[in-house]
Structure 1
Amino acid sequence: MLGNIGPVGILLIVIIALILFGPNKLPELGRAFGRTLREFKEGTKELLKDDDNPEAEKGSRTTAADRQQRTEVEGQFTEVRAEDKPSDSAKDKRLPD
């Protein structure tokens, strides 16, 4: 999208920004925009790193208590799944086809 903007288009954008914000406010806006982009980039890198290796200790924010709670919840989930499976006696009680 922005790759199609030529030098004339960039110059026009800069002139409009100068008119709207003034020469004193423009550097502040540029710094704020740069910080925002940097934080976004770091956040996405962290999310991608966590997705690639969810059990990684280095740089991970999960604590031992979080891991223990996750293990307990997963155990409860498997118990519920085991209860949902029909037993052999339940198959016998079904009506014939």
Structure 2
Amino acid sequence: MGRFGVTEILVILAVVLLLFGGKKIPELMKGLGSGIKEFKNASKDEHATEKKEETKE
């Protein structure tokens, strides 16, 4: 039940295309990509901070 099939993904993509249009989608994807990149960097920094604290104790 929790998995998406090909049909569901195509329907979601069609709805996104209808809502935002072809010109806005590259901007949305760029923003999504930069958001994911920032999240990964923040989680790496948090993990490195935890390791430093463990070695100090």
Q: Please name the residue that 2:24 is paired with.
A: 25
**Distance between the aligned counterparts of 1:49 and 1:24, measured in 2?**
39
Aligned residues between the structures: 54
Code of the aligned partner of 2:32: F
Q: CA RMSD in A?
A: 1.8
Query: Is 1:13 matched with 2:39?
Result: no
Structure 2: where are the runs of 5+ without partners? none
**Helix, strand or coil for the counterpart of 1:4?**
coil
Tell me by how many angstroms 1:55 deviates: 8.2
Structure 1: where are the runs of 5+ without partners? 57-97
TM value normalised by structure 2? 0.84
Poorly superposed stretches of 4+, deviation over 4 Å: none
Query: Is 1:37 matched with 2:46?
Result: no
Q: Identity of aligned pairs, percent?
A: 35
Tell me by how many angstroms 1:43 deviates: 0.3
TM value normalised by structure 1? 0.51
**Distance between the aligned counterparts of 1:31 and 1:42, measured in 2?**
17
Higher relative contact order (CA 8 A, sep 6+): 2
Question: In the TM superposition, what are the counterparts of 1:38-57 in structure 2 within 5 Å?
Answer: 38-54=37-53
